[in-house]
Amino acid sequence: MLVSSLGANEGSLSFYLRAKGQIERRVSELDFDSLQIVRPPIILGERSDTRLLERFAAAVFKLLPACVR
């Protein structure tokens, strides 16, 4: 199982999303018997650093109906 990122894409302008897309492709080329790639929108948890945009996105995400999440 690979935890990736929502928006992972090798063609992305974002370095992070581009790297995640490349990793997904390379891991899938390893020819495992089974591979699940999970792209959670936000991973919530306690952190020592402050991530204001992530906190804002998490607050907005909680307002969305469950069927959209």
Rounding to the nearest 10 degrees, give the CA dihedral for residues 31, 11, 67, 47: 90
pLDDT in tens, 12-58: 999 999 999 999 999 999 989 999 999 987 666 677 777 787 778 77
State if pTM tops 0.85.
no
Residue 59 has a pLDDT of 80
Residue 69 has a pLDDT of 46
Q: Is the dihedral of CA 40, 51, 68, 25 positive or negative?
A: negative
- Residue 62's pLDDT band, with cuts at 50, 70 and 90, is confident
Query: Could you identify the residue written with the tokens 């907005």?
Result: 60
Nearest CA-CA partner of 45 in 54, 34, 53: 54
